[in-house]
Chains A and B, each alone.
Chain A
Amino acid sequence: MENLAIQLENVSKSFKYFQLKNVDLTLPTGQIMGFVGANGAGKSTTIRILMGLMQADSGVVKVLGHSQPENQTLVKKEVGFSSEEMKLYGAKNLAWHIDFIKSIYPQWNQAYANELLKRFDLNLEQKIKQFSKGQQIKAQLLLVLARKPKLLVLDEPTTGLDPVARHEVMAELALILRDEDRTVLFSSHNTADVEKISDQITFIDRGRILDSNDKESFFENWKKIQVELPSETLLFRHHRSIGIEQAGKLASVTTNAFTPEILTDMQKQNIKVLAVEKMSLEEIFIANVSYRRQGE
């Protein structure tokens, strides 16, 4: 059986105004998963449950083979967790934080921490409150990465950053993650960030998992087909098409199960295929959300 770093089966959690519904999520060891959803989609709730910070109402939660939340102490020794809402102690400098974390994690790698300090261009003696938001996030990442976790869970690490800082953090993160075999769950509402570093992608919306697959499969399966119709009659939705935008004889058909047979079928119906376009992850995400919301 494949080694799973994260295994969520049928996990549900109800709040007054929000429900996480029957979430199934698996992340094999060595993979980087982008967990994409709009604000309030349930990303942070899912992550809090898998970190053992919050108890699910039902379902099975296992992280690195340990059930959660009962093994949260054990799990958190092996998992590096950083979230957008986390803040370090402003009155203290980075060296103080490093000493604190080093005293907790015996596997702390000082040589790697020094390398990250250089890469991130951080000053050990500078107080955290004097850091920019981007530097604070880099400091948090350093504290998490240098403890050499078996699993890295990053909850919206780039949210709230200006475009330059976001680009810097993502570039560094992409480099670091490429360095060696890592298992990472990376949540974001920013599809560009996720596209850059993920092998696997999972979409979540309104507390439900919409889709989960490897990145390449998403790009292979999701296409936008530009066609010219023989007449201006409205084009009916094909069983493999999930969205149609039509203006006169011209139409744009979105499919989530692209095969060359779709084009052959269209040609048989005198539909002229003008182009088959690759969709960006953002377009795939939006089309996916709209399609599922229509069905609710």
Chain B
Amino acid sequence: MNLRLNPSMIYKLTTKDFLLFRPFLVVYILICALAAGVMIAPIEGAYYLGVILVITVSIGSGIHFALTSVIIEKKENQMSFIMGLPINATDYAVSKTVGGMVVYFLNWLPMLVITLSLIYFSHLPNGLIPISILCFLQILTGVVVVLCIGVGTGSEGFTIVMVVIFNILFNLFLSVVGQLPGISEFIQGNEAVFNATFFSVFGIEILALILVLSLTLFIKSRNACFL
């Protein structure tokens, strides 16, 4: 097992991915702000349209980042350029999964803050805040899973299948979590309620995220070489 990591190189590779994604990151945050703006528009049905748009932008940006940073980099042979640098396969995997999560987080966090702020300062009920946080966390976890599948398999096909599964599971997540009594009872309320149900779902999502990352890095650290 290769556990000797090169933190300096992991940081440089992550920064490189951030710099490559930065122009899109700004665009996605702006689109998300517009989409969240639709949510609070005083028009019938605008809220639902806005929610769909915010979810689409946050998932889409994550998939865009995961595919370009892992799959397209490999497909366009830029990974060969990276493999020639003083790193090992584990450094690369850490930079693409943990580093990738950090880069996406820089996209995700402003989107979350914008969405929550608009809910908080608008006519929308503050009861929407807990479920919004859970949905965003679910999207972050899903993007990390896609990154891990991309790094783990190196396969464009498997990664795209994972994207499809992620979308299906997200819809399932929305309907299941939205019907949980501890969540559904408070959605229309004026106060954001962070109860045991919220923290249970939150905890499960964080655990899933840690588990997926750990498993991927454990598997990749067993490879002495890239190829």
Contacts and interface: CB of A to CB of B under 8 A. Distances in A.
A218 interface: no
A87 B76 CA distance: 7
A150 B2 CA distance: 26
Interface in A41-90: 48, 51-55, 69-70, 72-74, 76-77, 81-83, 85-90
Given A73-B6, A81-B84, A91-B20, A48 B78 contact: no
B86 A89 contact: no
Given A73-B6, A92-B20, A86 B224 contact: no
B85 A86 contact: no
Given A73-B6, A87-B77, A54 B86 contact: no
Nearest to B9: A104
Contacts of B61: none
Interface residues of A, number: 29
B77 A104 contact: no
A76 B86 contact: yes
Nearest to B4: A73
Interface in B166-183: none
Nearest to A100: B16
Interface residues of B, number: 23
B225 A89 contact: no
A76 B87 contact: yes
Contacts of A69: 88, 224-225
Contacts of B19: 92, 96
Interface in B1-58: 4, 6, 9, 12, 16, 19-20
B6 to A, nearest CB: 6
A294 interface: no
Contact of B12 (A51, A92, A104): A104
B87 A86 contact: no
B20 A73 contact: no
Contacts of A89: 20, 78
A54 B227 contact: yes
A73 B16 contact: no
A233 interface: no
Contacts of B83: 51, 53
Q: Which are the 10 A-B pairs with shortest beta-carbon distances?
A: A81-B84, A76-B86, A87-B77, A86-B80, A77-B86, A54-B227, A86-B81, A55-B225, A53-B226, A73-B86
